[in-house]
Amino acid sequence: MKEAWVSQMRKGLVELGVLSVLHNAETYGYHIVQTLALVEGLAITESTIYPVLARLEEDACISVRVAPSPNGPQRRYYRLTQVGRDRLSAMAAQWATVKASVDRLLATPRQPEAIS
Amino acid sequence: MKEAWVSQMRKGLVELGVLSVLHNAETYGYHIVQTLALVEGLAITESTIYPVLARLEEDACISVRVAPSPNGPQRRYYRLTQVGRDRLSAMAAQWATVKASVDRLLATPRQPEAIS
DNA sequence: GATGCTACCCCGCATGGCATGGTAGCACTA
DNA sequence: TAGTGCTACCATGCCATGCGGGGTAGCATC
């Protein structure tokens, strides 16, 4: 398996990714997995997506619509609510802040050694 | 308290931040807290830093040197080992990948609605 | 001797990613 | 018509991590 910190680094970003995907289009869990599988560093499994969607629905960030699938069980299509759009905005802002900070830290040149 | 997802988004990035600070200069836990307190979105408490340092030391990413403080108990100065530098490089690379992916996702324009 | 900063640490909780395993619908084919 | 395989959903349980709360001890100042 991959190193554990890879997963840890992703925490929170998965939710941001899912909200972002749902912002772009209404879709369902299984399809989100396939979509994010193509996004390097954000690939997730079904074990991850369904709890995320359940949480987001519980928080009223997304609403659901059930529709039949031509290839299998019914699909649960999700779309962002206003709460979800607000959450996405907030997370995107936080993301921008953290991103800038981390990048600044990584770019900081080595300091001269302190004495003792 | 702040929303929980703010902490979640930080998971893993704290370790990257600490490694980055230690890459810049040898220093001790309490000082890292003060340093990161000035970095927007990466502020952590002592409850966070000491477990992180203990983990990094256990993983041989950092080595420790004890030295007296003029203002209080002994300080434990940490510096990166080669393992730590490798870890920092790996995490920085992963960070760059994830960052690019998230930014690309956030920039993706809204797709036309699928039918049914 | 009380307050306050410095500097370290432990315990316990909540959160969230993820492995594992399960169910069920549909299509194809041997 | 049984088997295989993809689709699509879900529950359970583990583990790592951030962090609140609390503790100890050194030193300085008033």
The predicted complex's ipTM stands at 0.88
Is A104 part of the contact surface with chain B (CB cutoff 8 Å)? yes
The gap between the terminal CA atoms of chain B, to the nearest Å, is 41
Which of A42, A110, A114 minimises the CB distance to B23?
A: A110
Nucleotide D25's nearest residue (CA vs C1') is: B73
CATH class of A4-104: mainly alpha
Site of tokens 């019914």: A74
Average pLDDT over residues B22-29: 96
* pLDDT tier, A112 (very low <50, low <70, confident <90, very high otherwise): low
Residue in B closest to A40 by C-alpha: B101
Which of A10, A15, A109 minimises the CB distance to B98?
A: A10
Q: What is the pLDDT of residue A113?
A: 62
Domain boundaries, chain A: 4-104
Cα of B18 to nearest chain A Cα, Å: 10
* pLDDT tier, B43 (very low <50, low <70, confident <90, very high otherwise): very high
Has residue A7 got a pLDDT over 80?
yes
Has residue B7 got a pLDDT over 80?
yes
Sheet holding B75-80, edge to edge: B27-28, B75-80, B62-67
Has residue B112 got a pLDDT over 80?
no
User: pLDDT tens across A18-47, in order?
Assistant: 999 999 999 999 999 999 999 999 999 999
Has residue B65 got a pLDDT over 60?
yes
Separation of alpha carbons B19 and B89, rounded Å: 10
Chain B residues within 8 A of A61 when measuring between CB atoms: none
* pLDDT tier, B116 (very low <50, low <70, confident <90, very high otherwise): very low
Bases of strand D lying below 7 A from some protein CB:
6-13, 15-28
CA-based max dimension of chain A: 70
Listed in sequence order, the residues at least 6 apart from B94 whose beta carbon sits closer than 8 Å to its beta carbon are A5, A6, A9, A41
- What does pLDDT average to over chain B? 93
Sheet holding A75-80, edge to edge: A27-28, A75-80, A62-67
Indicate the pTM of the whole model: 0.90
Has residue A100 got a pLDDT over 80?
yes
Burial category of A62 from C-beta neighbours within 10 Å (exposed 0-12, middle 13-18, buried 19 and up)? buried
Average pLDDT over residues B51-76: 96
Chain A residues within 8 A of B56 when measuring between CB atoms: none
Chain B residues within 8 A of A10 when measuring between CB atoms: 12, 98
Distances in Å between the Cα of B29 and the Cα atoms of A78, B45, B66, B78 are: 45, 10, 12, 8
User: pLDDT tens across A44-76, in order?
Assistant: 999 999 999 999 999 999 999 999 999 989 999
Q: What is the pLDDT of residue B1?
A: 55
Contact state of B98 with A24 under an 8 Å Cβ cutoff: no
